[in-house]
Amino acid sequence: MATVTPSGKKDHSFFELVFEVARQIPKGRVTSYGAIASCLGTKLSARMVGWAMHAAGSAKPKVPAHRVVNRNGMLSGKHHFNPPSKMEALLKKEGIKVRNDTIVDFRKLFWDPATEL
């Protein structure tokens, strides 16, 4: 499956790698765009991981994009969900508390793919 970046370029491999990492995030845990980028050896590509999460809605098998937040635990990608409150609702369904668009106990719930995979 080819995905399209915001620049309009197709990316067959990077997005798929991001999706595979994101699919490994356990329920009730979260990670960051930067942690996924670092795990893939592209430490400075956190923004591209965000683009991948934006494109994840059509990926098969499903990608739990709601478990990927910014480095401070903020739901910075919530505007890509329809409706935007869906990201928080999905997290809460997994037992993750959110206050003011930020994961409560973010450090405790943080899943680092570099050490877990």
Residue 77 resides in a domain: yes
| Contact predicate 64/57, CB 8 Å | no
pLDDT of residue 13: 87
Residue 114 resides in a domain: no
Residue 117 resides in a domain: no
Residue 67 resides in a domain: yes
Question: How many domains does the chain contain in total?
Answer: 1
Residue 116 resides in a domain: no
Residue 21 resides in a domain: yes
Whole-angstrom Cα distance, residue 42 to residue 25? Answer: 19
Domain limits for position 82: 3-109
Residue 38 resides in a domain: yes
Whole-angstrom Cα distance, residue 29 to residue 13? Answer: 25
Q: What is the mean pLDDT of residues 6-23?
A: 78
Residue 72 resides in a domain: yes
CATH number of the domain to which 97 belongs = 1.10.10.10
Q: What is the mean pLDDT of residues 44-61?
A: 94
Q: How do residues 65-99 score in pLDDT, each as one tens digit? A: 999 999 999 999 999 999 999 999 999 999 999 99
